[in-house]
Amino acid sequence: MGLTLAEKILKSHTVDGDFVKGKEIGIKIDQTLTQDATGTMAYIEFEAMGIDQVKTERSVAYIDHNTLQSGFENADDHRFIASVAKKHGIYFSRPGNGICHQVHLERFSIPGKTLIGSDSHTPTCGGMGMIAIGAGGLDVAVAMGGGAYYITYPKIVNVELKGKLSPWVSAKDIILEILRRLSVKGGVGKIIEYSGDGVKTLSVPERATICNMGAELGATTSIFPSDETTFGFLKAQGRGHDYFPLSADYDAEYDEKILINLSELEPMVACPHSPDNVKKVSELGKLKIDQVCIGSCTNSSLLDMMKVAHILSGKTVHPDVSLAVSPGSKQVLTMMAELGLLEKIISAGARVLESACGPCIGMGQSPNSKGVSLRTFNRNFEGRSGTKDAKIYLVSPEVAAVSAILGYLADPRELGEMPEFKLPDEFSINDNMITLPESPDKASEVEILRGPNIKEYPVTEPLKSDISVKCSLKVGDNITTDHIMPAGAKILPLRSNIPEISKHCFEICDPKFPERALSLGGSIIVGGVNYGQGSSREHAALAPLYLGVKAVIAKSFARIHRQNLINAGILPLEFMDPDDYDTVDEGDTLSLDDIKSNILNDRQITVKNETKGLLYNVKCELSNRMKDILCLGGLLEYTKSNLK
Ligand code: MIC
Ligand code: SF4
């Protein structure tokens, strides 16, 4: 039996464990990336490991999230990351150079290589035929130090793309259709692998858009074959030598198969407050809008900007609408200027923002009260935009641009004939905003520049034999990391200060939670299905750790967050009978007897609800490595003890 494309790359990189479905495998990581919002903590962790130089083929530190500098904190963090990068052999992408995933795709992605990044949208580089996975900062720090990255050998889902998209229907509509079919938990434990004759009709940036939003499916990653189109893109980036053809074997076997006929798709929209609440634009009617934002790592490529500039050309943004455009990278912005696209966008009245995440993470451009905002982004969770009662709709750049002119949600097919949008044979290449690290022999002279807001990693403790604490919070299904540890311009500057950022933990659900959890001294959180979906931010585990949370009992967990909990030494327990969830209340005392030995010996774990006199069977599937991590109090302690 042949191998799928993902299996070929995984197999050639497996350094620990047996290559068996459902089992944990350790894979060698060729490249890593970090961004600033997760990067400071990842580098604090890397420093704590005491390794001089990174051991990967390429590690890049990007500054793209915390770019609004309304106090000293973000600028201090940027400076800290720049100095760590210089000292430890890491390339540094300076603020202004662009969004990590867009820049990495342009300048560093290589087919057949493995990449992990401390950002959940790292799978964007799957568009280049890489195995690219989002992970917690601590996992990335370990990979930088040469350690393997562990995943459960996932199921492989084949999405066969047939035919060709109709005019004005775009790559975003493909992934929105898949989200409509599979939901935000449909990809958990799976890799989505694309094939079919429709693949060759899609450019690399379009493939990247699809892989990017595979994160919203909860998938481990998504991947496209590396073909002539990939070669063309790499050559245009002056990197033809990085090309390597890759596809699945003809007799590869998949766990699941999905067929998408591209010619049948129409413009789609994800309605508030979930990326899988997808409808056809034509179904929604002329929804009045207040704001349009074009950009983010999903849709900020030159190709996207070509379409937007064409639609806006000679027009004016509707008087009731504010249009913001953030190009994905310095290369995109430069070429927009060179090709005359920028002039068209500015003339139409767009507010052109710097090449960064910006409004996507609530770094400015929060909508008005009850505002309706159309965004080309990937997440529309409640409150993420910075305005709690705003309604965010996720759309393609084509839908966004035409709607910005008309003032209501509009179908771009009304524009009639579509010109051919073709990427240039050569991109403008200027890597002057990527600072190279100091040579290893001079690295010891580099001073690390630490601002006063940068605090240490929180204190962890080895797993106790018995736990008896109160339930400090009960939450529902699909709780996102944006609920657990909100982002936005006010809170993001605290990412390197766990005691301070913890004061905002679960702010959206219950502002009193941090105070209550701290005063209890130890507690358990109870959650529903898909707990911790969304971002990779390990702060959603580190803040609860600081607040004394010992375990989370949920109906099920999202992949990265579950790993982050284990990395922080917090037990991720799953109800075996989901109905038990209904009988727990905040304030109940929950006890776990002999928990350490039950975990080590794979015995049934039982939670006693002392208040109600009930017993709950819970499960906690762990590899031996994970058991050791939990027993020692987290991955940092585990790594340090392995290095001794
Ligand atoms: C996001 O889109 O939610 C983020 C901000 O990029 C996060 C990372 C973070 O919280 O810093 C992600 O996707 O992992
Ligand atoms: Fe940045 Fe938004 Fe992409 Fe996250 S999803 S990396 S915040 S652009």
In the block, tokens 């390429």 appear at 58
CA of 357 to the centre of ligand 1 (A): 10
Angle at 635 between CA 630 and CA 638, to 5 degrees: 85
* Residue to mutate, 378, 480, 491, ligand 2, most ligand atoms under 8 Å from C-beta: 378
Asked if residue 536 has its Cβ within 6 Å of ligand 1, the reply is yes
CA of 611 to the centre of ligand 1 (A): 38
Whether cis (ω within 30° of 0) applies to the bond prior to 273 is yes
127, 253: one domain: yes
Please list every protein residue whose CB sits less than 6 Å from any atom of ligand 2. 65, 99, 119, 121, 296-297, 357, 360-361, 377-378
326, 180: one domain: no
190, 223: one domain: yes
Average pLDDT over residues 520-524: 98
Q: Out of 412, 445, 479, pick the residue that ends a domain.
A: 412
Tell me, yes or no, whether 53 lies in a domain: yes
In the block, tokens 């775009």 appear at 170
Least confident window among 199-208, 284-293, 452-461, 550-559: 452-461
Check residue 643 and give its pLDDT.
Answer: 78
CA of 347 to the centre of ligand 2 (A): 27
State the closest ligand 2 atom to the C-alpha of 100, by its place in the atom list counted from 1. Answer: 6
Share of the chain above pLDDT 70, in %: 100
284, 258: one domain: no
CA of 118 to the centre of ligand 1 (A): 8
Number of domains into which the chain is organized: 3
247, 282: one domain: no
Check residue 642 and give its pLDDT.
Answer: 86
State the closest ligand 1 atom to the C-alpha of 118, by its place in the atom list counted from 1. Answer: 14
569, 589: one domain: yes
In the block, tokens 């010992």 appear at 550
Averaged pLDDT of the chain: 97
Asked if 83 contacts 75 with a C-beta cutoff of 8 angstroms, the reply is no
* Residue to mutate, 67, 93, 118, 119, ligand 2, most ligand atoms under 8 Å from C-beta: 119
CA of 64 to the centre of ligand 2 (A): 9
Share of the chain above pLDDT 90, in %: 99
Tell me, yes or no, whether 100 lies in a domain: yes
Report helix, strand or coil for 14.
strand
DSSP code of residue 262: G
Q: Out of 216, 242, 264, pick the residue that ends a domain.
A: 264
Domain hosting residue 335, numbered range: 272-412
> What is the C-alpha separation between 165 and 163, in angstroms, rounded?
7
253, 276: one domain: no
Going from the C-alpha of 243 to that of each of 101, 115, 225, 239, 302, the distances in angstroms are: 19, 16, 12, 8, 21
> What is the C-alpha separation between 212 and 123, in angstroms, rounded?
6
> What is the C-alpha separation between 42 and 27, in angstroms, rounded?
19
279, 344: one domain: yes
Report helix, strand or coil for 500.
helix
23, 169: one domain: yes
Residue closest by Cα to atom 9 of ligand 1: 537
Tell me, yes or no, whether 422 lies in a domain: no
Asked if residue 384 has its Cβ within 6 Å of ligand 1, the reply is no
Check residue 390 and give its pLDDT.
Answer: 98
Tell me, yes or no, whether 456 lies in a domain: no
Whether residue 22 has pLDDT greater than 80: yes
Closest ligand (CA of 480): 1
pLDDT tens digits, residue range 326-351?
A: 999 999 999 999 999 999 999 999 99
In the block, tokens 């130089």 appear at 53
Please report, for the domain that includes residue 369, its CATH number: 3.30.499.10
Alpha helices in 109-170 (DSSP H): 137-144
Alpha helices in 60-152 (DSSP H): 72-88, 100-107, 137-144
CA of 10 to the centre of ligand 1 (A): 25
552, 600: one domain: yes
Choose among 133, 136, 143: nearest CA to 187.
Answer: 133
> What is the C-alpha separation between 539 and 114, in angstroms, rounded?
25
Going from the C-alpha of 43 to that of each of 161, 207, 442, 445, 579, the distances in angstroms are: 40, 31, 20, 18, 42
> What is the C-alpha separation between 616 and 530, in angstroms, rounded?
19
> What is the 3-state secondary structure of 548-589?
CEEEEEECCECHHHHHHHHHCCCEEEEECCHHHHHHCCCCCE
Tell me, yes or no, whether 442 lies in a domain: no
Confidence of residue 397 (pLDDT cuts 50, 70, 90): very high
165, 250: one domain: yes
Write out the H or E segment, with its range, that includes residue 551. Answer: strand 549-554
Joined together, the tokens standing for residue 285 give 């009617």
State the closest ligand 2 atom to the C-alpha of 300, by its place in the atom list counted from 1. Answer: 8
Whether residue 644 has pLDDT greater than 90: no
Crossing angle (nearest 10°) for helices 302-312 and 204-212: 100
Average pLDDT over residues 203-210: 98
CA of 582 to the centre of ligand 1 (A): 31
DSSP code of residue 300: -
377, 397: one domain: yes
Joined together, the tokens standing for residue 39 give 């990067």
